[in-house]
Structure 1
Amino acid sequence: MGALSCLVELTKAPDTLPPNTYVKHPNLSTYEIFQEHNVLNLGPKGLLEEARAMEIISQHPHPNIIHYHGCRVRRGRITGLVLDRHSNTLNDHLKNKVGSVDKEPFMQALISAIDHLHSLGWAHNDLNPGNILVDKEGMPVLIDFGSAREMGAKLGTSRGTKGWIEGEMKDYHMSDKRHDLFAIDKIRLWLDAPMFSD
Structure 2
Amino acid sequence: MSEFADVVRNRRMTRSFSTRPVDPTVLDSLVDLAARSPSAGKTQGWHLVVLEGADTARYWDITLPVARRAGFRWTRLLDAPLLLLVLADPDAYVARYGEPDKAATGLGASADAWPAPYWTIDASMAAMTLLHAAEDAGLGALFFGVFQREDAVRAALAVPDRLQMIGAIALGYPHQDEPGGGAPGRPDTSGRSAARRRRPPAEIIHRGGW
In terms of Rg, which structure is larger?
A: 2
More strand per residue: 1 or 2? 1
Q: Same fold (TM over 0.5)?
A: no
More helix per residue: 1 or 2? 2
Q: Could you tell me the TM-score, scaled by structure 2's length?
A: 0.30
Q: Could you tell me the TM-score, scaled by structure 1's length?
A: 0.31
